[in-house]
C-alpha cells in the first residue's frame, strides 16, 4: 500500500513551516511510522539545520531529479529516532532546477516506499510552491494568528485544488488571546473555514531547540513534544481531541454551550 504525502505550506515566510515539518516528522516517526521529510526550498535549504543533519549531506533533491543518484542514496537517516529520513534541498542558485513532473515522480517514489512524506514548502506562490505541492495528496497549512499570515493562508488554500487541507495555528499566545489582543484558534479556523489539525504556542523552547538542531519533538517527555504527537496522531486518523487552552473566550463559550457555530 502506498504511503501518504503532505505538503507543509503557508504562503507567508517565517510562520513556522520548517519547524513544523521537522517536529511532525520526529513525532510521526516516534509513533512508529517511516517518514521522509523533503526540503523543497531549493537555494535556501534549512530543514537539514533544524534537524541537525547538515554535516551528513552527500546528495540532494536536484541530484535525485537529474539522475546523479538513486533516491535512497540521497536520504539521510536520523540516528536519534528510528524511521526518520531527510531528503535535503540543493544549495544551487537556480531555483528552477527541478520541475513539477520531476518532483511528482520523486514524491510518488518516496510515498511508495515510506508511510509518510512531508514536503517542506518554500515561501511564496511561485515555482517553488508549485513544485512542493505537485506530488502531495494532502496539505497542512501553517499560519500564525496574524492578519497578514491568515490572508496568505487563505490565498494558498485557494491554490491547493481538491487536496484535503488542514490548519496548524502556530505561535499562539494564550495571554494575548485572553485579553483580546490576538485572534483565537477558533477565530482563525472560522475565517479560513478549515479543520484545525493542531496549535502550537509561541515558545522560546522552539527557537532554542531549532537553533541546536534538536527538534523539541525528539524528547517525548517534553510538553511541546506531546503537542506535536497529538497532531501526528490526528494526521493518522486517530480521534484525539485538541488541547483547549489556546482558545479565546468565544471558543470556551461555544464549548460550554455545546455549539459549533
Ligand atoms: N511556536 C513557535 N514559537 C517560537 N518560535 C517559533 C515557533 N515556530 C517557529 N518559530 C521560529 O520562527 C522562525 C521561523 O520558523 P521557520 O520554521 O523557519 O519558518 P518558515 O519555514 O515558515 O519560514 C524560526 O526562528 C523558528 O525557531
Ligand atoms: Mg522554511
Cβ(17) to ligand 1 under 6 A? yes
Q: Is the CB of 202 under 6 A from ligand 1?
A: yes
pLDDT of amino acid 261 = 44
Q: How much of the chain, in percent, has pLDDT values that exceed 70?
A: 93
User: How far away, in angstroms, is 161 Cα from ligand 2 center?
Assistant: 22
Q: Is the CB of 200 under 6 A from ligand 1?
A: yes
Regarding the beta carbon of 143 and ligand 1, being less than 6 Å apart is answered no
pLDDT tens digits along 21-77? 999 999 999 999 999 999 999 999 999 999 999 999 999 999 999 999 999 999 999
Closest ligand 1 atom to residue 13 Cα is 23
Class of domain 4-256: alpha beta
Q: What number does the ligand 1 atom closest to the CA of 12 have?
A: 22
The whole-number average pLDDT for the span 171-192 is 95
The Cα–Cα gap between 26 and 113 comes to 18
Predicted pLDDT at 92: 83
Report yes or no on whether pTM surpasses 0.85: yes
pLDDT on residue 260: 47
pLDDT per residue as tens digits for the range 104-121: 999 999 999 999 999 999
Tell whether the model's pLDDT for residue 258 goes beyond 80. no
pLDDT tens-digit readout, 125-165: 999 999 999 999 999 999 999 999 999 999 999 999 999 99
Q: What are the domain boundaries of the chain?
A: 4-256
Give the contacts of 52 (CB within 8 A, at least 6 positions apart): 212, 213, 214
DSSP states of the chain as a string? ---EEEEEE-SSTTSSHHHHHHHHHHHHHHTT--EEEEE--TTS--HHHHTT-GGG--S-HHHHHTTSS-HHHHPEEPSSSTTEEEEPPP--S-TTSS-HHHHHHHHHHHHHHSSEEEEEPPSSSSHHHHHHHHT-SEEEEEE-SSHHHHHHHHHHHTTSTTSEEEEEEEEE-HHHHHTTSS--HHHHHHHHT--EEEEEE--HHHHHHHHHT--GGGSTTSHHHHHHHHHHHHHTT--PPPPSTT--HHHHHHHHTT---
Amino acid at each position: 500500500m502506498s504511503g501518504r504525502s503532505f505538503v507543509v505550506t503557508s504562503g507567508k515566510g517565517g510562520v513556522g513551516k520548517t519547524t513544523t515539518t521537522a517536529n511532525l516528522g520526529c513525532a510521526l516517526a516516534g509513533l512508529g511510522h517511516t517518514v521522509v521529510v523533503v526540503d523543497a526550498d531549493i537555494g535556501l535549504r534549512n530543514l537539514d539545520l533544524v534537524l541537525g543533519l547538515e554535516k551528513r549531506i552527500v546528495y540532494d533533491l536536484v541530484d535525485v531529479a537529474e539522475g546523479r543518484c538513486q533516491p535512497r542514496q540521497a536520504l539521510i537517516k536520523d540516528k536519534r529516532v528510528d524511521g526518520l529520513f531527510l531528503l535535503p534541498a540543493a544549495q544551487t542558485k537556480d531555483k528552477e532546477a527541478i520541475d513539477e513532473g520531476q518532483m511528482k515522480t520523486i514524491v510518488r517514489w518516496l510515498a511508495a516506499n515510506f508511510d509518510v512524506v512531508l514536503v517542506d514548502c518554500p515561501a511564496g506562490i511561485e515555482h517553488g510552491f508549485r513544485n512542493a505541492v505537485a506530488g502531495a495528496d494532502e496539505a497542512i497549512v501553517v499560519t500564525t494568528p496574524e492578519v497578514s499570515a491568515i490572508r496568505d493562508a487563505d490565498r494558498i488554500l485557494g491554490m491547493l485544488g481538491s487536496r484535503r487541507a488542514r490548519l496548524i495555528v502556530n505561535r499562539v499566545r494564550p495571554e494575548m488571546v485572553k485579553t483580546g489582543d490576538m485572534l483565537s484558534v477558533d477565530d482563525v479556523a472560522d475565517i479560513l473555514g478549515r479543520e484545525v489539525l493542531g496549535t502550537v504556542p509561541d515558545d522560546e523552547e522552539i527557537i532554542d531547540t531549532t537553533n541546536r538542531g534538536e527538534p523539541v519533538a525528539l524528547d517525548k517527555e517534553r510538553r511541546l513534544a506531546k503537542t506535536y504527537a497529538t497532531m501526528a496522531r490526528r494526521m493518522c486518523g486517530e480521534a484525539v481531541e485538541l488541547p483547549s487552552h489556546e482558545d479565546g473566550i468565544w471558543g470556551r463559550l461555544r464549548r460550554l454551550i455545546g455549539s459549533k457555530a
